[in-house]
């Protein structure tokens, strides 16, 4: 005599977005996420009208990447080194972006007579946040801290009294990162 325990989990429906559903229909079963935790956090539909590669995305993404690289390299020389993760930037970017949306002009500018760029394309969306987080993660090494070759350059200078010129050191860091 075998009893079968049949517990099924249902995925709650997500609120519809402007262009999230195709032809007004919910996603098919094969498009649904099997993980309930993921389905609760991430919408199952995509809104292709949301802007992604905006001025503010590039500005905040590159700034956060450079800031994390600088701070982690600066703090690696402490006796007890300090590592700043990309999660801090991910949290800090939200109020900064909302401030930028409130203050930047909505005027469109034309570049090279062909491309239109707006400094303020609209409210912050999840796609912009993901792109900024990916860019910020590029500024953090796997083990934390700085690029591995920065340690080699520092050892050469401190113990062997040899130094590389700036261009050679820069190329070494960029190729090993």
- Per-residue pLDDT 10s for the chain (177 aa) are 545 554 555 555 555 544 444 455 666 666 666 777 777 777 777 788 888 899 999 999 999 999 988 888 888 888 888 888 889 989 999 999 999 999 999 888 888 888 888 888 888 888 999 999 999 988 776 655 567 788 888 889 889 989 889 999 999 988 887
Q: Within this chain, do residues 113 and 151 fall inside the same structural domain, yes or no?
A: no
How many separate domains does the chain show? 2
Question: What pLDDT score was predicted for residue 166?
Answer: 93
Instruction: Retrieve residue 35's tokens.
Output: 């993980």
Task: HSE, CB side, 13 Å, CA atoms: give it for residue 152.
Answer: 11
Q: Is residue 59 part of a domain?
A: yes
Q: Is residue 166 part of a domain?
A: yes
Question: What pLDDT score was predicted for residue 109?
Answer: 86
Q: Is residue 4 part of a domain?
A: no
Question: What pLDDT score was predicted for residue 151?
Answer: 83
Among candidates 41, 141, 42, which has minimal Cα distance to 86? Answer: 141
User: Which residues contact residue 48 at a Cβ distance below 8 angstroms, ignoring those fewer than 6 apart?
Assistant: 19
DSSP state of 29: G
Beta-strand relationship, 115-118 and 108-111: antiparallel
Parent domain of 170: 147-177
Question: What pLDDT score was predicted for residue 27?
Answer: 60
Cα separation, 42 vs 17, in Å, equals 13
Question: What pLDDT score was predicted for residue 140?
Answer: 79
Question: What pLDDT score was predicted for residue 26?
Answer: 61
Per the CB < 8 A criterion, the answer to whether 45 and 20 are in contact is yes
Q: Within this chain, do residues 65 and 115 fall inside the same structural domain, yes or no?
A: yes
Cα separation, 43 vs 52, in Å, equals 16
Q: Within this chain, do residues 154 and 136 fall inside the same structural domain, yes or no?
A: no
Question: What pLDDT score was predicted for residue 167?
Answer: 95
Question: What pLDDT score was predicted for residue 154?
Answer: 87
What is the distance, to the nearest Å, from the Cα of residue 11 to the centroid of all Cα atoms in its chain?
Answer: 27
């Amino acid at each position: 005599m075998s009893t079968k325990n049949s517990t099924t989990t249902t995925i709650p429906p997500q609120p519809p977005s402007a262009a999230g559903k195709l032809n007004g229909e919910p996603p098919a079963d094969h498009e649904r996420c099997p993980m309930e935790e993921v389905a609760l956090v991430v919408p199952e539909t995509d809104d292709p009208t949301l802007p992604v590669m905006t001025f503010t995305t590039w500005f905040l993404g590159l700034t956060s990447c450079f800031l994390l690289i600088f701070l982690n390299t600066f703090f690696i020389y402490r006796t007890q080194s300090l590592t700043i993760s990309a999660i801090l930037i991910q949290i800090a970017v939200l109020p900064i972006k909302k401030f930028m949306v409130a203050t930047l002009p909505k005027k469109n500018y034309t570049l090279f007579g062909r491309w239109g760029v707006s400094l303020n394309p609209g409210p912050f969306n999840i796609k912009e946040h993901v792109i900024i987080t990916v860019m910020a993660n590029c500024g953090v090494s796997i083990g934390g801290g700085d690029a591995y070759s920065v340690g080699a350059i520092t050892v050469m200078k401190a113990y062997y009294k040899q130094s590389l010129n700036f261009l050679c050191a820069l190329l070494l860091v960029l190729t090993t990162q």
